[in-house]
Amino acid sequence: MEADNEMKQIIFLILGFCTTCVTVSADEQYLLHIDVVGYIDSTEVKPKDKVLYSIETVARPNQPFHCKVKSGPETQIISGKLHYKEGEYSVQIRYHRTFDDGNTVLGKPVLDESGIQTTATVAVDESIVLGGFEIDGESTFEPQTKTKAKKYLIPNLSKVIDKFGTKEKAGTVLLSKTKTTKKVILLLSKYEPAAE
């Protein structure tokens, strides 16, 4: 009987230890950082990626998160849930960005919108690509004919002579190849609040 009591105490001790570990893990905070990298309408042959926009928020395991940042005409939102199970992290995430350039149709703003919604396995201090797109296109430029007019007055003949000089040829169409690419990159890292 004494052995049964000792066994029960050991089991309760183990359960108490495991519960404490789970509680500590749930109290940990992580930084979810999203960078959208790429280039827009680049005419370079091999354009270099740059960070176009970023957003970050603090998340706790197995709890929902939400962050909205508005800066001028741009609004970015990330929301979702960071999951932790059996030593592995996964994130259910929705990223949405809108840009209001001031254009309206029938009184309503026309927004440039982009976003992604996905679930992915993540590791601490490692970045992953959540998604993106790449577009090849052409842009056209049709310069208008620009002319200069000069008038010369020749007093002896009392006559006006018009001379025209053309700077550019009319109807010239310039085509340039363009590339647009964007990748949404997520980085999960341990969050350490600043000491007070």
pLDDT digits (tens, 9 = 90+) for 114-149: 888 999 999 999 999 988 878 777 655 554 444 444
The DSSP string of 62-77 is: TEEEEEEEEETTEEEE
Domain-embedded: residue 77: yes
Instruction: Specify if 166 maps to a domain.
Output: no
pTM of the model: 0.63
Which tens digit of pLDDT belongs to each residue from 142-160?
544 444 444 444 444 334 4
Q: Which residue has the higher pLDDT, 60 or 104?
A: 60
pLDDT of residue 3: 56
Q: How many domains does the chain have?
A: 1
Q: Are 31 and 78 in contact (CB under 8 A)?
A: no
The answer to whether position 78 is within a domain reads yes
> CB of 81 within 8 A of CB of 100?
no
Give the residue numbers spanning the domain of 185. 30-135+179-190
Task: Report how far apart the first and last C-alpha atoms of the chain are (Å, whole number).
Answer: 53
pLDDT at 4: 59
